[in-house]
Chains A and B, each alone.
Chain A
């Protein structure tokens, strides 16, 4: 002890110095050529699993689809700095594509010389495999519905199997890793002869009072106890199970996902399986006819399919890389094999992703920036600090209260234009009072949207007169609605609620954020003053907010919708009776019919007219109240060239250049 006591001060100092040295050793990073704030930390870099804007930017740097969205040649001369530049899908991994007469079959001709970052060629097989992985139920891709346009894709994704159908069965216990769907275990392909189902659970009975969630849960559990008799056509053994016993081509297997629950059959003789899915090769409309030729068959004509192909969920992933490292380990910088203009040098969680130019990229000569940092910045204020302090060249998120001022003091660095995004209120039409279309229209007409845009949001947002945002080529919206409190109160009276008397109280639900609350408060005030309606506000946490809408347990709820592809359909088909995103309880046969008809209409002009008629119904019926259309808000340093505005607020990194010499003097920082 005494020795220790004497040595203590020196030990403490030594310890302090050592830890200081260690802390300093984190060293300095060489500066990137271009740095931008990418908003939140991305959830994943896996194109088949990601959703969201930050993910979009990173994945577009790392991967490339059959087509890519770019502006047409000569755009820099044609469009001014304040204008939206239209982007079109252009040849990328596929050099070109043909569409059949009926618009259902797309044939993509792969680009010769396109390579993965490990040197392997990118082929049609890669796409067929990547889409299969995306549709596999275990991949649990949220964007899988982007492939539902393909024949059989939805059935594969949701595992719909019928008697007489061709199936692929994955045997239990034959995988390398139980938790990895790829590489797959032993696959038995064949035809379903019979399906034996135990009695239906009580939740599924017609008069059952169980809610939708409990119902679908009970149904899924029930399906796991179904027993399938399958005639075996072929067996594809896995590496772990090279010689599958008892199973022979031409024979039969009787199988079940959960043999313990299959009461009717002797559980001992059942083959336990992981999945029974429709046979991908036979039922889903994607086929690599040769490494150079990918044939895609759609359910019906889809005018915007080329746009979907150029959107990141349909980008390919490298099979070798995914199967070797497994998910999510294959996305680690040291493992990642990609095919886009950049590769990932390192990724520091909630700090940055460093991208370096991919020398194997086919269009490598066009890529100007060598090193790019995509910073994960949570706070908008921090983003602004970093921009003003020259730490980033492009800011994608700004603190809302600062926006009017920023617009004013640095107009040259604040390009802004309307976007394909709408802020709206859902109305639950199953609630008494709100089931009346006149009441809903009255609610819509009683909102002074201009006032909201000018006093609250203040970034140049456009008051929404209809649902579909402006700026979509070839689309003329139906006549919209204007603020009209007199007509609104007249409609309310016609509906039997003069001055709001007799109307049950309305509650506005929003996810708890200042911006949403302020708008809800203003609308609360407008409805009270213009219609005499009592309105309550309820700010809830995100999960609850989604849950309430899911269960139709609300009166009015805020929502936003960003275009998945630049076409009016993305804002309209979500309100059909069968849509998962509807969540208003509103069902209209005429509307459904028009949307369906528009989907198969080959003539572009006629198609747009059908969509316009559908939107007119939506406005007339008002199950949703559109409030405003967003504008893009970015800060871009003057030395950044090749950055342009567009209606989806996506900015290809491949077109960017940095030119410090030819930037206007005095506008940059010190």
Chain B
């Protein structure tokens, strides 16, 4: 029984921390929104006071601050993020439920690309250590980490879209439209994974059990893929947590550049356009998501590596 209880306790602890984080994030965001000058209901055309009051009443702006703070928190606890300030035809819940599948889909592609290209390049580099291929791959990886994704996006649009006429420039709805942004988004993570894999492989390839495997006369391919890779991938798995977080936040920029209607675009537009309720919803959902992802990765790490104990 003890074996099952430990993870549950850890889970409960994690949940408590997550709630505390969410509360802190909520409080800070609320304070920031309150302190911005001008307020969200300003427009170039002035409106009569009677009408302004009605708008303010709709968003509870005429209540005392402490009441606004508590009421808003109460609504959020019931997963009601209220109406969007600027997208008047939608509630924040609707915007989030339209945006997240798009971002998730983009993120999944990016993550798979990162894993596929990263591990492949890492394995090849390690097994052909110090060859031309190794230097080329690792050089690429260094560039991949160094170049910010908005620069990469710009360059790839010029090359792939305008010179080669291979893919559409932007938008969402077809597989072709997913490829380029997903590749741009995955590049730094693929690069990092390649280096992790290579380092892991090099370490493992020097171990006794690999030498034993070679000595038994196994094909080098089998030794590398069957025996070495498994051990070498542990750092990669532990990197998946930060990578997911990075892809989530990185997609803010990429979505904007490729005009993808995901939550990243909503996040940025809400912040720039003073859409307070939408921004609050986005910030909280992102916080929750990052927290859950980290917990998941920690658990999966314990599952893969018997040496790791959950504490």
Contact = CB atoms under 8 A, between A and B. Distances in A.
Contacts of B99: 349-350
A391 B173 contact: no
Interface in B93-116: 94-95, 98-99, 101-102, 104-106, 108-109, 112, 115
Contacts of B101: 26
B112 A382 contact: no
B202 to A, nearest CB: 22
Contacts of A51: 43, 45
B45 A328 contact: no
B274 interface: yes
Nearest to B38: A543
Interface string B244-275: 00000000000011110100011001000010
Interface string A124-161: 00000000000001101111110000000000011100
A179 B266 CA distance: 26
Interface stretch (B14-22, B82-90, B189-197): B82-90
Contact of A8 (B89, B98, B115, B303): B303
Given A51-B43, A349-B99, A377-B259, A43 B87 contact: yes
A23 B259 CA distance: 18
A375 B300 CA distance: 42
A291 interface: no
A438 to B, nearest CB: 29
Given A46-B88, A385-B157, A580 B46 contact: yes
Interface footprint category on B:
35 or more
B242 interface: no
B109 A543 contact: no
Given A29-B173, A543-B274, A550-B46, A331 B259 contact: no
A282 interface: no
Contacts, number: 180
Contacts of B165: 670
Nearest to A215: B49
A382 B170 CA distance: 7
A210 to B, nearest CB: 14
Interface string B28-39: 000000001111
A312 to B, nearest CB: 15
Given A378-B259, A391-B170, A331 B40 contact: no
B1 interface: no
B48 interface: yes
A159 B48 CA distance: 10
B119 to A, nearest CB: 12
B208 interface: no
A350 B261 contact: yes
A140 B87 contact: no
A507 interface: no
Interface stretch (A193-201, A216-224, A529-537): A216-224
Nearest to B52: A140
Nearest to B58: A179
B160 to A, nearest CB: 11
Nearest to B255: A350
Interface in A18-38: 19-20, 22-24, 26-29
Contact of A140 (B54, B104, B109, B168): B54
Contacts of A143: 45
B169 interface: yes
B304 A220 contact: no
Contacts of A665: none
A143 B105 CA distance: 40
B3 A20 contact: no
B108 A23 contact: yes
Contacts of B42: 542-543, 546-547, 550
B112 A20 contact: yes
A639 interface: no
Given A46-B88, A378-B256, A379-B257, A142 B266 contact: no
A629 B174 CA distance: 41
Contacts of A29: 173-174
Nearest to A564: B45
A541 interface: yes
B51 interface: yes
B51 A157 contact: yes
B25 interface: no
B172 A351 contact: yes
A43 B43 CA distance: 13
A179 to B, nearest CB: 7
Contacts of A559: 44
A248 interface: no
Contacts of A245: none
A45 interface: yes
Given A385-B161, A543-B38, A4 B87 contact: no
Interface string A257-295: 000000000000000000000000000000000000000
A388 interface: yes
B80 to A, nearest CB: 13
Contacts of A217: 49
A540 B99 CA distance: 30
Given A28-B173, A349-B99, A377-B259, A546 B43 contact: yes
B45 A4 contact: no
A389 B261 contact: no
Given A349-B99, A388-B162, A140 B89 contact: no
B1 to A, nearest CB: 14
A436 B38 CA distance: 30
Nearest to B45: A142
A137 B175 contact: no
A49 interface: yes
A382 B38 contact: no
A543 B36 contact: yes
A41 B52 CA distance: 23
Contact of B304 (A8, A348, A546, A550): A8
A634 to B, nearest CB: 19
Nearest to A384: B169
B88 A220 contact: no
Contacts of B170: 377, 382, 385-386, 391
Interface string A345-383: 001111100000000000000000000000111110010
A53 to B, nearest CB: 13
A16 B112 CA distance: 7
Given A5-B303, A349-B99, A547 B37 contact: yes
A533 B58 CA distance: 47
B162 to A, nearest CB: 7
A391 B171 contact: yes
B53 interface: yes
Contacts of A580: 45-47
A219 B49 contact: yes
A44 interface: yes
Interface in B162-192: 162, 165, 168-175, 178
Which 6 interchain pairs have the tightest Cβ spacing? A543-B38, A351-B261, A23-B105, A385-B169, A580-B46, A44-B88
Interface of A: 1, 4-5, 8, 16, 19-20, 22-24, 26-29, 41, 43-46, 49, 51, 137-138, 140-145, 157-159, 179, 216-217, 219-220, 328, 331-332, 347-351, 375-379, 382, 385-386, 388-389, 391, 541-547, 550, 559, 580-581, 583, 670
Given A26-B105, A377-B259, 6 more contacts: A26-B173, A29-B173, A140-B52, A348-B98, A382-B169, A541-B38
27 contacts: A4-B303, A28-B174, A29-B173, A46-B88, A49-B88, A140-B52, A140-B54, A142-B43, A142-B45, A158-B48, A158-B51, A159-B50, A219-B49, A348-B98, A349-B266, A350-B99, A377-B259, A378-B256, A382-B257, A385-B161, A385-B170, A386-B168, A386-B169, A542-B38, A545-B38, A550-B46, A670-B165
